[in-house]
Amino acid sequence: MVRRRILVVDDSVVIRKLLCEILSQDHELEVVGSASDGRIALSKILQLKPDLVTLDIEMPVMDGLETLKELRKLYPKLPVIMFSTLTERGATATLDALSLGASDYATKPSNTGSPAVAIAAIRTELIPKIKALCPSISPKLKTLPPPYPAVRIRPQSKGPVEIVAIGTSTGGPNALAEVLPRIPQDLPVAIVVVQHMPPIFTRLLADRLASQSNISVSEGSAGVTLTPGQAWIAPGNFHMTVARAGLHYRLDLNQNPPEHSCRPAVDPLFRSVAEVFRANVLGVVMTGMGSDGVLGAQHIREAGGEVIIQDEASSVVWGMPGLVYAAGQADAVYPLDQLAAEITRRVLQSRSRRVSATTTNHYAAMEPGVK
């Protein structure tokens, strides 16, 4: 078996040693070298030809963002995982790195008080991401050429879409930055989003998306009433769900156990919108590793709603959307650059059907000759 070759870049001797030891313990991975700053890292990439680079953000000589910019010029397709601190500064730099082309990120364990806990945290978060980004380790789902057919022909829902629920993970921040800014300000429904991210990161992501979008984008908070033309991002370390509150709908947050090792997770949100809105849901599953969203998509479709997914070619990792497709729970598949238009079209078209049906019923009920 050919092992994936990893280059570890970090200015801390302790972190470099720890990462090299942890990664080398996995029989599918091989650490081929390490570097203490970006300039050394760029020279070693040329020599060692790694399959993936882990890249620290704060380094002397050439920091992570400067290194990433140069790396992307020379190696546009080389997977890069940023290794950042769970702080506001670290989260901001990580989002900058993702916008510059980083494939994903992992957070450094902090204040664990136990080397064993720190090792377990790195192993649990970092290694699966490395394998997801190196296709020869984790076999990809069978590639299907576009256009993708609908999984199962179903009668089109006659009810209007009343809410859009989006789930995403690896590659999600950039995917959301492609979709939400293209949603029109007057969209007549609310949008609820789960992006797998820790605290601080989700708030900064919401702020960043808000600055780029016509619709309002906020981090979700308990008790907030859903309003049309606004999107809410589930906060890190909380599951976000939707509940009915009289004539309105509100957001609820909870810290129930993680699902698919994630909190927030997509499935709890999808289950809640299916229960509350029934057939009037449009679910969207975008790029991400793992299977979160598959069972939730099933709940939405069983309630009569629709689910669309991002295609493989435009996904950083076709795990979540690919498994929804493989499970037969996708109504249609679209490239990332078409998702915003398709979301808008489905929402508006479903609501125009309602207006048309209401008008028809009104005239049908009139006395003959009355106009």
Reading the block at residue 31, the tokens are: 């650490």
Query: What is the rounded CA–CA span in Å between residue 6 and residue 64?
Result: 16
Tell me if residue 248 is catalytic. Answer: no
Given the residues 292, 314, 315, 331, select the one marked as catalytic: 292
Query: In sequence order, what are the beta bridge partners of 245?
Result: 248
Specify whether 292 is catalytic. yes
Which one of the listed residues 169, 213, 272, 350 is annotated catalytic? 169
Non-local (6+) Cβ contacts of 364 within 8 A are none
Give the Cα separation of 84 and 200 in Å (integer): 13
CA distance linking residue 307 with residue 161, whole number of Å: 12
Helices (H) and strands (E) in the chain, counts: 11, 14
CB 270 within 8 A of CB 283: yes
Are 243 and 272 in contact by the 8 Å Cβ rule? The answer is: yes
- Tell me how far CA of residue 118 lies from CA of 98, 106, 109, 123, 168, in angstroms: 24, 13, 5, 9, 26
Residues 6+ apart with CB under 8 A from 157: 279, 280, 304, 305, 306, 350
Query: Out of 34, 56, 196, 260, which one is annotated catalytic?
Result: 196
337 is catalytic: no
Burial category of 71 from C-beta neighbours within 10 Å (exposed 0-12, middle 13-18, buried 19 and up) = buried
Residues forming the active site: 169, 196, 292
